[in-house]
Each structure stands twice: as C-alpha cells, then as structure tokens.
Amino acid sequence: MKFKQVAKHSREMIERWINQKVLGGKMNEQLDGTLFIYGNEVHHFTKTSSGDWVIEPQEVTQVVVFRKEAEPEQLNMCRACGQDYDSFKEAIQCCAYLD
Ligand SMILES: [Zn+2]
C-alpha cells in the first residue's frame, strides 16, 4: 500500500488504524471514503484513478465536530438475542432458560 506524504503523526496513526482494520479482515474497498480528523487536519482515504490507495490531506481551515447524544438504551430488549418486548419482565425472561 502506497501513501502520499502527509504530516508524520497523523500519517502514522492513520496507517496504524488502516493496518488494524485490514488485519481484522477489512478490504480497502470497505474503508474507501473514511475521513480521518486529527486536530485541524483532515485526511481522506481514497483510491486514485490509477488505482493507488492514498491518504489524501483535505484543505480545511477549521474542524468542528458536533456529537449527537447517545441513543437511549432499549431497556425492553433481550440482551441475549435482541428481541424487543413490551415489558422489561418479558425481555429478561426471553433467553433466561437457554444456557
Ligand atoms: Zn432472547
């Protein structure tokens, strides 16, 4: 895998992240378009028209990330199989006897 020269720290972190994903069985195609944000640096993992995978720095002056509130926990869901129930009691009884 060939990478364009980008700032050293972010490059190392991004390469390590991508290598871990690839070792975990991901294809480069599945990582296509991944956006990496490191401080105010933004890098884009993408394939060039010549077929090389590159970590491409994006020209931005400022990065602002708005995080959404975490999804509320679904209390009436069986933790073993994920089945939804109308009541918490039903949910905890779902897979209770299957051990
Ligand atoms: Zn269940």
pLDDT digits (tens, 9 = 90+) for 49-94: 999 999 999 888 988 888 877 766 657 888 888 888 888 888 888 8
Q: Evaluate whether residue 3 is within a structural domain.
A: no
Q: How many whole angstroms separate alpha carbon 18 and alpha carbon 43?
A: 13
Q: Evaluate whether residue 29 is within a structural domain.
A: yes
From its phi and psi, is residue 44 left (phi > 0), alpha (psi between -120 and 50) or beta?
beta
* 71 CA to centre of ligand 1 in angstroms: 21
Residue 43 has pLDDT above 70, yes or no: yes
* 72 CA to centre of ligand 1 in angstroms: 20
CA angle (40 as vertex; 56, 17 as ends), nearest 5: 55
As a whole number, the mean pLDDT across the chain is: 84
Q: How many whole angstroms separate alpha carbon 42 and alpha carbon 37?
A: 5
Q: Evaluate whether residue 63 is within a structural domain.
A: no
* 24 CA to centre of ligand 1 in angstroms: 28
Looking at the fold, whether 48 and 81 belong to one and the same domain comes out as no
Looking at the fold, whether 50 and 21 belong to one and the same domain comes out as yes
pLDDT score, position 7: 62
Looking at the fold, whether 38 and 78 belong to one and the same domain comes out as no
Domain count, the chain: 2
Q: Evaluate whether residue 90 is within a structural domain.
A: yes
Query: What is the end-to-end Cα distance of the chain in Å, rounded?
Result: 46
Identify the domain containing residue 41 by its residue range: 8-58
